[in-house]
Amino acid sequence: MRFLKPIFILLFFCFLLFISVFPQVLRCSFVKYDDFINIEPNLYAATTSTIKQQDSLKKYIKIAKKRVEDFWGSQKGDATIIFCNDSEEYQKYCRTSEGAGCTIGTPVGSWIVLNTDGLNPDVIAHEMSHDELMTRLGWWKTRTKIPTWFDEGIALMLDYRFVEAQDSIQRFKAYRDELFFFSGKSLPLEQLKTEKQFFGQGELYTKLAYFTSASVVSRKIAYGGKQAIYQTILKVKQDNIFEF
Ligand SMILES: [Zn+2]
């Protein structure tokens, strides 16, 4: 019995450490107790959202799921989706006011948080792709073995905001043209390995990082098909080695 007290204290400190590292996890886990409507299983919308917004949300999720199935073969990820209707609410759940959506992936669950700009199939499919990769590889391998440019590059294959072309060669050419029109040259992939490198150097740099990632990934698909991407993921899963 005398061991119970130190074990309890240790567990309590582990819990505090976890919450301090992932405070948004606690918030997302308790979304049903906040100002949200549970529209469907794993789908919450702010109580201030209109019926029209909620209907659009359901419609766009269907389109996004179809894109995930087309790219990945099937959808294995089942992240809970949380639609916020104002930037303050979004910031509370995402820990950032940046972007139209974010994916919070942890060893204990995944959530996709959207703001009003995220109410479209592109943003939802983009975030679902992040969740899909993490579900297939697991949280630890995704965090430690997958470079951010690869994760973002794949997500842009399901997100048609910058380039609409569906044909793999046309898509590659369009991304390459966007990149060269925008900057003249791509960024070195070595400088886009972490989220900090990718997102932490200003809006212009991040845009260039997106175009670089999408060009590299779409080039691989144009030459080797989606199979080439699956092989890279399989190598990480089986041998813990990232090869592109
Ligand atoms: Zn992304």
Whether residue 8 lies inside any domain: the answer is no
Distance 126 CA to ligand 1 centre (A): 6
User: Is residue 187 included in any domain, yes or no?
Assistant: yes
Is residue 17 domain-resident?
A: no
Residue 177 within any structural domain of the chain: yes
Distance 6 CA to ligand 1 centre (A): 42
Rounded distance from Cα 153 to ligand 1 centre (Å)? 8
Please tell me whether residues 122 and 152 are part of one structural domain.
no
Cα 199 to averaged position of ligand 1 atoms, centre (Å): 10
Q: 130 CA to middle of ligand 1, Å?
A: 7
pLDDT band at 25 (very low <50, low <70, confident <90, very high): confident
| Domain end position, chosen among 90, 112, 137 | 137
Average pLDDT, the chain: 92
In this prediction the pTM is 0.91
Measured on CA atoms in the order 133, 135, 136, 139, is the torsion positive or negative? positive
- Cα(42)–Cα(28) distance, rounded to whole angstroms? 11
What is the number of domains present in the chain? 2
What is the CATH classification number for the domain harbouring 89? Answer: 3.30.2010.30
Task: Assess if residue 12 is contained within a domain.
Answer: no
Q: How far is the CA of 100 from the centre of ligand 1 (A)?
A: 10
Residue pLDDT, tens place only, 2-23: 777 777 777 777 666 666 656 7
Q: Which chain residues have CB less than 5 Å from ligand 1, an ion?
A: 152, 155
Q: 27 lies in which domain range?
A: 22-137
Kindly state whether residues 94 and 117 are assigned to the same domain. Answer: yes
- Amino acid residing at 70: D
Residue reference for tokens 């990945």: 72
* Domain presence at residue 51: yes
Boundary (domain end) residue, out of 103, 137, 171: 137
